[in-house]
Chains A and B, each alone.
Chain A
Amino acid sequence: MNVTEEKDLVDRCRQGNDEAWRQLVDQFGQKVYSIAYHFTLKREDAEELAQEIFLKVFENLHRYDGSFPLTAWLVSLSRNLCIDRYRRRKREKSFRFVSDDAVAPLLQSSDDPSSEAIKKERIKILFWALSEIPEDLAEILVLRDLDGLAYDEIGKALELPDGTVKSRLFRARAEVSRKVRERHEERRPTALAAIVMAAGAAV
């Protein structure tokens, strides 16, 4: 669906066309819910947030002028709501101790339980690392790497030039990778600790 078609869809929604509204929900509901989930990591919160976002979308349909993709407009409308939830979750330390249930919806079911457990652990570390880096960096990494938005969509949504989006994305990835490496190194037993553990096992 190109921008012109999206504008036409929005105009029909404004005129009270129920079928057009259902089409808009079908087209963007999954994306909005996915973004909401990545900012909350909780199904109930994500559903509530998605409803809030679509309420806001419906009430502000007249503001969409069709000058950029509808996805970017949806993200720009929902940004404050998402950030508010994200901050609340950070205050509640919800990202520090991410549960298996929280990351399960983000993984395809696998027949190999050990492989699935490793993936879950990685995702939990990823969300922990995201909570440890600055908010403006984490936001861009989520939108790009987790939600798959294009650079221009992120730029329009966050009102940033493409160069800034790319620069922040690079720094976000670098910060996340540094956090992950540091965490890995902290938890790896040192050589002395390994000797002690081995001696203990021998005794």
Chain B
Amino acid sequence: MSCRELERLFVSGAPESAYAAHGATCLACAALARDLDRAAGMIEGLTPAAWGPGLRQALYDIPRFTVSCEGAGPLLAATIEEEIEPADRARLESHLSRCGGCSEAAATLAAARGLEEPLPSPWLFQRVAVARPKEKASAWRRILAPRLVVAYAYAAAVVVMLAGLNPADLARRAGSGLEKNTRTAAAAVRGSAADRIGAVQEDLARAFAVVKGKAGGYSRAALSNAMALIMKTETRRPPTRPRNGEDGGTSKQDGTTQMTTWRA
């Protein structure tokens, strides 16, 4: 087995004399040197394999059959715009069949054009439907809205009352021959209306006096309460609970326990 001195000499670029000097003292390295010389003799005389004219022409034609990674970018853009020439398309496809990076870039660009529209969650449609503004109702529909019917009824009742067309009144007057003479009935209505207006005025005056009296009473009472609160000086504190060891507590200093209640 060699001592590896020959390898060290070779790596360091030692002269031939150094090999010979070492080989004279190391039999293993001398044998290895003979083997190396024999192997070197096998390699001597080898000539490079000659390339043929066909291969040379094929290598010349490479730019016509493919495109570089640099040139692939513009052709990819032209492909997306569908403005690429057939020859360029063939060159690009040839390049993409071998180049993983450009092939990935082409697939990414193509994927960007074929994207599906994103679908929202179902709850979004429900929210949109609820938030959608209602259709503008027509004038008649607004006028005849159910919630206004009650108001109309009240208004009609007030008008009837103000006009003195109390159904009871009308019934009573109908009994007095109103239906026989229209003029008489109209006069009766006018008279009743004057009476009613007077009665309403009287009622309003009475109600105002009542409200005024109540307001005065309430204000006086409020003033009195406020004064009482201001003038109040004595405060009442809630009883405090005695602690252990205090008078009335459960624990005594002498150690005896006496059950008492702090409320007592």
Interface residues of chain A, those whose CB is within 8 Å of chain B, are: 14, 16, 18, 21-22, 25-26, 29-31, 33-34, 37-38, 43, 46-47, 50-51, 54-56, 58-62, 105-108, 119, 122-123, 125-126, 129, 145-147, 163, 166-167, 170-171, 173-174, 176-178, 180-181
Q: List 10 A-B contacts (CB under 8 A).
A: A21-B62, A29-B55, A43-B49, A59-B67, A59-B69, A59-B98, A60-B69, A106-B49, A123-B46, A173-B36
Asked whether A50 lies within 8 Å of B59 as measured between CB atoms, the reply is: yes
Query: Per a CB cutoff under 8 Å, which of B42, B50, B54, B68 touches A14?
Result: B68
Interface majority SS (helix, strand, loop, mixed), chain A: helix
Residue of B nearest to A25 (CB): B59
Rounded to whole angstroms, the CA-CA distance of A181 and B38 in the bound complex is 9
Minimum Cβ distance to chain A for residue B192 (Å):
110
In the complex, the answer to whether A62 meets B70 with C-beta atoms within 8 Å is: yes
Is there contact, CB below 8 Å, between A55 and B49? no
A25-B56, A34-B48 as given contacts; A177 in contact with B63, CB under 8 Å: no
Q: How far is the CA of A140 from the CA of B229 in the complex (A)?
A: 110
Cα-based distance from A34 to B68 in the complex (angstroms): 25
- Asked if B60 CB lies within 8 Å of chain A CBs, one says yes
Closest to A179 in B: B39
- Contact with A62, one of B49, B60, B69, B95 (Cβ below 8 angstroms): B69
Cβ–Cβ < 8 Å partners of A170 in chain B: 6-7, 10-11
With A30-B48, A51-B55 in contact, do A59 and B10 touch (Cβ < 8 Å)?
no
Q: A21-B62, A50-B59 are in contact. List 10 more A-B contacts (CB 8 A).
A: A29-B51, A29-B56, A47-B52, A51-B59, A58-B63, A125-B42, A126-B39, A171-B7, A174-B36, A177-B39
B222 at the interface (CB under 8 A from A): no
CB neighbours (8 Å) of B95 from chain A are: 59
Within 8 Å CB of A29, what residues of B? Answer: 51, 55-56, 59
Chain B residues with CB under 8 Å of A174's CB are 2, 7, 32, 35-36
User: B102 CB to closest chain A CB, in angstroms?
Assistant: 8
Contact of B66 among A55, A173, A177 (CB under 8 A): A55
Which B residues lie within 8 Å of A125 (CB)? 42
Given contacts A126-B43, A180-B38, contact A54 B59 (CB under 8 A): yes
